A and B are shown apart, each in its own frame.
Chain A
Amino acid sequence: MIILLVGTTGVHHTLVAAHLYLKKNISAGEFAHLDGYCDLSLEGSGFPIAIGCDGYGNNVYTLGLGRLVEIGNRAINGFSQIMGFDSSQLLIRELRIPGDLDIWAASKANWMPMGMGNAINRLVADRVISREFKRIKSEALRLTEQVALLQGVSDNMTGLGFKAG
């Protein structure tokens, strides 16, 4: 299964949530050191960002959709439907937190010279994510439960002769 965490950006709160989901013991003060955190070159590509693989062998990705998360998410869901994929093959989870638009807006300051853009990007992201860390952690926990449930269903279906995604 592919797990895709979507949000306004793919290298801030979604990336932290993805790492939390992957059982990495991260405290509120440590998320800023995660691989790819605030890396706007990754974000700028527009492609899903590979984060890692969970205990079930599912690949975890994040994807930034910008300001129009709902529209992008709807398009992604529609796309997976027309391509014939279901939630046992592709799990899309939208992660919204208060202030995620601020993070997205700050990420647009990247053009500023002498590292100022990057500093603004980090400053805003750090503040918002620190404030909302509990919420992000609980979202990651909810995702863990959802995946466990889906995995259980898939395993049972495999036992009954169905092929798991």
Chain B
Amino acid sequence: MAKTRKLTGRFQSSWLEPAVVNEAEFMKIIYHCFGGSHSSVTAAAIHLGFLPTNRIPSFHELMALPHFDKTPGDVYGVIRFMGRTGEGDEVYVLGKKNLGNRMDRILIGLAELLGVKDRVVVVNTMRYVNLFMMVGGFLSRRLGLVSLGRPILVWGTRLAFPHLVRAVEEVKNEIRRGEEE
């Protein structure tokens, strides 16, 4: 996969809208989970360098992330921009409800049809979601019991954090391998 990597500081990780660049040169990385507001957002944040990887982030660091435990229910299926990496790749998050692994196949199948398979990485982060994240997320997002659900959710997210870091590392390695080929 041939890619041009002539980047300046303006392409550094940003929460702003994507900058205008030659899109064909950059990867699109989509992290998806049930609601698109916890595990996928955390993984995307790790990928973008918004969170430290050498320690577990604090409650406030997690809550400061864009979209983290803030998304309303009607954004299921909406691919939301999280930021751009230092290399210029775009990172997105997606809530897919119960579509499960099918979402991987749908997006990869579509990418294959469109001839852009080598420009897309789709990552299902549901396997890293623990019971605390499920219960906390359900209480906070579904039932609106934020003050009760959020501490449970953040605790669960902190427990899952090392696994998410490893998953993101794998994704980054896969992208690097793709570039070398």
Contact = CB atoms under 8 A, between A and B. Distances in A.
Interface of A: 2, 4, 45-48, 59, 61, 63, 65-68, 70-76, 78-80, 82-85, 89-90
A80 B113 CA distance: 11
Contact of B97 (A2, A68, A82): A68
Contact of B103 (A45, A75, A84, A89): A75
Interface in B92-133: 92, 94, 96-99, 101-103, 105-114, 116, 119-120
A55 to B, nearest CB: 20
A75 B96 contact: yes
B13 to A, nearest CB: 18
A2 B110 CA distance: 10
B84 interface: no
Interface of B: 23-24, 28, 30, 76-79, 81, 90, 92, 94, 96-99, 101-103, 105-114, 116, 119-120
B114 A85 contact: yes
Contact of A90 (B102, B109, B114, B119): B114
A45 B103 CA distance: 12
A74 B78 contact: yes
A66 B99 contact: yes
Given A46-B105, A75-B79, A83 B114 contact: yes
A158 to B, nearest CB: 20
A71 B94 CA distance: 10
Q: Which 5 pairs show the lowest CB-CB distances between chains A and B?
A: A74-B77, A46-B105, A71-B77, A47-B109, A78-B79
A82 B101 CA distance: 21
Contacts of B97: 68, 71
A75 B106 contact: yes
Contacts of A83: 28, 111, 114, 116, 119-120
A67 B102 CA distance: 12
Given A2-B114, A63-B106, A78-B77, 4 more contacts: A48-B113, A75-B77, A76-B106, A79-B30
B77 A72 contact: yes
Contacts of B112: 47
Contacts of B23: 84
A90 B120 CA distance: 17
Nearest to B80: A78
B109 A75 contact: no
Contacts of A80: 110, 114
B79 A82 contact: yes
A71 B99 contact: yes
B77 A46 contact: no
Contact of A78 (B78, B90, B109): B78
